[in-house]
Amino acid sequence: MIIDRLYNNVKNKGPVCAGLDTQLGFLPGYLVEKSWTPGEKIFEFNRRIIDEIKEEVGCFKVQIACYEALGLDGMQAFAKTVAYARNAGCVVISDVKRGDIASTAKQYAQGHFTGDFETDIITVNAYMGEDAISPYYEYLNEREKGLFVLVKTSNPSGVDFQDRNVDGMTLYERMAEKVSAWGEGFIGESGFSSIGAVAGCTYPEEFERVRALMPHTFFLIPGYGAQGGTGEDVARFFKDGICGVVNSSRGLICAFKSKTEGKDYVKYVFDAVTAMKEDIAKSM
């Protein structure tokens, strides 16, 4: 199962998820100057990063919005980036946050678990209930795919709804219970389900409440670095053992800024990944 691959990667390589949320403004000068399309430049930027850090990260996450903004050229870069990382043996999370009725979700499932945009795991929004999730189930076992369902997000205004009281529990706790129940039929040898959850490290106390409700759930943990999360925050998540992967995007892929405009930008990305791993490890 895909969750077992991801869990083993995290055990062997560390808990860093490198976010390839690449925008044109992130590129070094030598790429900006090339007479390539924007998508070609972005793919080259991503390709060299993947080659440099693939043995140091648990997985890659590719945020589709950064590519959709560039139209067809950008979506070609998205498809090529996902395929390149997967062909290199890496687990790839496509951050697409889909959430719609069953008939539409079925099309999203086909679109991201087969064909040009095939990936390993996608993020989904379950606000519409299990109808928005169940069309993906057939792919979890048959094609070894996975989901990360939004539970407690890292953005400040997430509290507007997620912290609302619903019959004595917060909405995010109610969501945690549901996601855990949905995942019971997809538990791998690692003891974790292929239906995981998104819970931001900017809310460590809330995470502890979520973790207690989701004993078989593996987490995608955003919020480290640029959003304010620290290694100490993450360490609290892992006090009972590794139970997730920690995402950083800008903090890693923009680490070369103000240092170089050349091809050696990947060295600074590598150094940032190493520093992140050390920051998490020293707090555990």
CA distances from 56 to 44, 217, 255, 271 (A): 19, 23, 16, 10
State the Cα–Cα distance between residues 87 and 177, nearest whole angstrom: 35
First to last CA, the chain: 28
The verdict on whether 97 is a catalytic residue reads yes
SS3 for 245?
strand
- Position 281, amino acid: A
For 56, phi then psi, to 5°, come to -110, -5
Cβ contact 148:97 at 8 Å: no
Choosing from 97, 178, 257, 267, which is the catalytic residue? 97
Among residues 102, 49, 67, the alpha carbon closest in space to that of 248 is found at: 49
H helical segments located in the chain: 2-13, 29-32, 38-53, 65-68, 71-87, 102-113, 137-142, 159-162, 171-182, 204-213, 231-237, 250-253, 265-282
Tokens of 110: 């086909």
In sequence order, the 6+-apart residues with CB closer than 8 A to the CB of 30 are 261, 262, 263
Tokens of 222: 């955003």
Neighbours of 199 (CB within 10 A): 30
H helical segments located in 127-170: 137-142, 159-162
Residues belonging to the active site? 97
